[in-house]
């Protein structure tokens, strides 16, 4: 390497180092109001978090069907199996529903029904959304574009019917008239007891 070339490489490295150091101080001045965690590049990327749905969703339509005096079986038919039923509180069923999604505040709903013996006495809880409101809350912000029409034309159906498939032979041999098809023997579902 020639002397001039070494000198120019050293000069370039010195200039580059000085520029980088001055940029760091001006970057620090620009971001003085930001927290240290927001400057960390690791915090710029958030990992994917799976939606967590727990419990029984109870809609306002289901709550409207409840009437005092209903039996436990009738209540279970309307609301489903309770998430929480305690041995110590046998006359109380709790329906709890939580939904945790990435980028959305967690949703939590609780509804409680009280029995006296086998009869529904009273019920209370959060104001429940109706089913269409709840579905709209579940809707993803992502749009995947237009869904294509999933209907075949008459020509496409005729072409598909005329082509023999690979799984089905083109011509199947039929047994001669008067002859029966061979019987298929299947193994028993359970092994014989020994």
Q: Each residue of 46-92: pLDDT tens digit?
A: 677 788 888 888 888 999 999 999 999 999 999 888 877 777 888 89
What CA–CA distance (Å, rounded) separates 92 from 116?
9
Domain residue spans in the chain? 52-138
- More confident call, 45 vs 53: 53
CATH class of 52-138: alpha beta
What CA–CA distance (Å, rounded) separates 146 from 161?
29
Nearest Cα to 130, choosing from 42, 60, 53, 79? Answer: 60
Residue 119 has pLDDT above 90, yes or no: yes
Confidence (pLDDT) at 114 = 93
Average pLDDT, the chain: 77
Residue 34 has pLDDT above 70, yes or no: no
Q: Is-contact 78 98, C-beta < 8 A?
A: no
What CA–CA distance (Å, rounded) separates 30 from 74?
65
Give Cα 68 to chain centroid, integer Å: 36
What CA–CA distance (Å, rounded) separates 86 from 80?
16
Nearest Cα to 93, choosing from 67, 62, 65, 121? Answer: 121
Residue 39 has pLDDT above 70, yes or no: no
């Amino acid at each position: 390497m020639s002397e001039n070339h070494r000198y120019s490489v050293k000069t370039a490295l010195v200039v580059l180092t000085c520029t980088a150091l001055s940029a760091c101080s001006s970057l620090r001045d620009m971001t003085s109001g930001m927290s240290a965690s927001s400057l960390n590049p690791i915090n710029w990327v958030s990992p994917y978090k799976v939606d967590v749905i727990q419990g029984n969703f109870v809609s306002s339509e289901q709550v409207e069907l409840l009437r005092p005096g209903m039996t436990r079986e009738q209540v279970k038919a309307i609301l489903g199996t309770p998430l929480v039923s305690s041995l110590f509180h046998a006359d109380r069923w709790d329906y709890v529903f939580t939904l945790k999604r990435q980028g959305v505040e967690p949703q939590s709903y609780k509804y409680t029904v009280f029995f006296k013996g086998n009869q529904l006495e009273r019920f209370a809880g959060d104001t429940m959304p109706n089913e269409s409101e709840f579905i709209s809350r579940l809707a993803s912000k992502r749009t995947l574009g237009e869904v294509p029409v999933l209907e075949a034309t008459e020509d496409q159906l005729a072409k598909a019917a005329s082509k023999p498939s690979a799984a089905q032979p083109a011509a199947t041999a039929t047994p001669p008239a008067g002859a029966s098809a061979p019987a298929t023997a299947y193994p028993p579902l359970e092994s014989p007891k020994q």
